[in-house]
Amino acid sequence: MRSLLLLTILLLAGCATTGGPGGGNVTGEAIAASGQLYRQAVTAYRNRQLMQAFELASAAVEKNPANAEAWGLVGLINQRLDQPEGAEKAFRRALQLTPDAPALLNNQAGFFCSQKRWDEAQQTFARAASLDNNPVPEIAWTNAGLCARRAGDPQLAEALLKKAVQQNSGLPTALYQLASLSLDKGKPVEASTWLDQYLNHAVHTPKTLLLGARIEQALGNPAGVAAYVEKLRSAFPDSPERQQAEALSPVAQRTTGAAPGFHDESWLTTRNPSHYTIQIGSYGSLDAARQAAGGLRPPVAIQHLGNRYIVYQGDYPTLSLARTAQQALRQRAGNAAPWVRDFGSIQKGAKR
């Protein structure tokens, strides 16, 4: 549940507190003091000082029983302290005071999910996301997707996470989860696309590097797996993800007559159609193609098309990256003229 809890704290409401229903004869001084205690409690909670946060939040609701935000924080802390009865009472009290508060609803839904009350969780997440006063409905949809995945419903999880991405195409948590779900479905090309979108908005973490290695393994690209393993070794040498990536079984490279150490056309068919590669040249014999491919940075593929052997280098997610690599390759191409191609056109040509 850590991923969901990290999102809930982002939705803690602002620090404004008021008297109101249930507040009785609360003085302005008490309301102000309650607000100050609540702000201190939020700081302690973010610093993972749970007992101090609980004491401050409890003092805030004692000063002003109508401080809905403080009640909501008491609920979150009780949840983290594995006190479900106290958490449920606090969330219920907070929503009695402010029934249409999207942050409080999101956090209550997270509590329901932690208790495996799946239906209540999904209903409450949906309510939070649908409120007109919710400035970030994508957070509620993301949490709903995480909860559905925890409940063992990957189809619902995917649908909910896609709702989150429709609201905000740059939400890293949702994009990572969609990539992971796609891989679990046996769709590594789709998973690679989601991971690329993630990298447009966030940097690699040990989790995403491991996911990338698993995707490359599913695509039959041992060089890609090795590249991710090397990144984990250099950036996160002590992470469990490095050990998991290193333990991935090497994929047998298919070389149906292409050349030892090179991919053949079957590798080309598994690439993301929107990615780019560089066609090094077209050759009349396999030996000539091998010679041209020798020394190229992997991944390298040799395609047997008709009576020609075509050499390709690289898998680049953007056109600018491919063009940069093309410039570097021109100096060593000899009489050939390397040119950038998208995998989609190569795949269509191979089907003719």
Task: Write a three-state SS string for 190-226.
Answer: HHHHHHHHHHCCCCCCHHHHHHHHHHHHHCCCHHHHH
Output the domain CATH number for residue 298: 3.30.70.1070
Does 186 reside within a domain? no
Quick one: pLDDT at residue 282? 86
Average pLDDT estimate for 296-313: 87
Does 54 reside within a domain? yes
Domain coverage including residue 48:
2-132
**Domains in the chain, number:** 2
Does 206 reside within a domain? no
pLDDT in tens, 231-267: 888 899 889 998 888 888 554 333 334 455 578 778 8
Does 26 reside within a domain? yes
Average pLDDT estimate for 164-180: 96
What is the band of 8 on the pLDDT scale with cuts at 50, 70, 90?
A: low
pLDDT above 90 for 166: yes
Amino acid residing at 105 = L
Residue that is last in its domain, among 110, 132, 154: 132
Cis amide linkage into residue 299, ω under 30° from 0: yes
Does 185 reside within a domain? no
Contact criterion met (CB below 8 Å) for 141 and 125: yes
Residue that is last in its domain, among 132, 166, 193: 132
Output the domain CATH number for residue 83: 1.25.40.10
